[in-house]
Amino acid sequence: MRVTVERCFSCHASVPRIQGPTHEYMTSSPGCWKLFTGLLDVLQRDGPAAAGELQNAVDAYAAQHPGRPGRRESQSVHVHLASLYLGLERGFDALARQRAMQALLRGRPAFAWLEPPSFANTLTVADVVACRSDAARREAIGAWAASVWDAWKPHRATLAGAVAGILG
C-alpha cells in the first residue's frame, strides 16, 4: 500500500497525509502530530535515561508548531524556547529545565507573541523518526533541537532576559 505524503504547514516535514487528531493550539498536520506522539511513546518507554531527549523533542516540536497569536500559544512558545536556551546554551539538564519552566509560569504572566521564523531549513520530527537505531535517534533529537533553536535565535535576547528574571 502506497502512503500519500504532504508537507506539514508548520514545520515543513514530509509526513503521511492522514485524517486524525492534532494538538489544540500547536498547529500541525495530522500526520505530523501522529509522528510526534509516536516518538513520545518511544521516549517515554525508555524511561529516565531518555529524559534529556524527551525534553528536547517536546521543546523542539512545540517551538516548530507555534500556532497563531494568542495567550496560550505565546506562553507555550516562550516556555519551550526558554527550555531550549537553558539546555543548549546553559547546559541545564531536563529536571532543571522543567523547574525553570514552572518558575517562568508562576503567576501566569502574559507573554508577547514572538514572530515565528521559517522552518524550511530546520530538522523535523520526521528526520528523527526515520532513524533506525537508538543512538542515531538520540543524535538526531539533539540536532533537531539545535536547528529549531538556531531558527529562533533572533529572539534570543528576549528569552535570555526572561530566564535571567527567574534565575536571579
Burial class of 26 by CB neighbour count within 10 A (0 to 12, 13 to 18, 19+): buried
Residues 161, 76 contacting (CB under 8 angstroms): no
CA distance linking residue 55 with residue 63, whole number of Å: 12
Tens digits of residue pLDDT in 12-55: 999 999 999 899 999 999 999 999 999 999 999 988 888 999 99
**Per-residue pLDDT, 78:** 95
Instruction: Name the one residue in this structure whose C-alpha cell is 502530530.
Output: 33
Structural domain boundaries, residue 105: 5-167
Residue 168 reports pLDDT greater than 90:
no
Confidence bin at 166 (pLDDT 50/70/90): confident
Contacts of 90 (CB under 8 A, 6+ apart): 163
What's the structural domain count of the chain? 1
Residue 2 reports pLDDT greater than 80:
no
Tens digits of residue pLDDT in 72-119: 999 999 999 999 999 999 999 999 999 999 999 997 788 999 999 999
- Residues β-bridged to residue 23: none
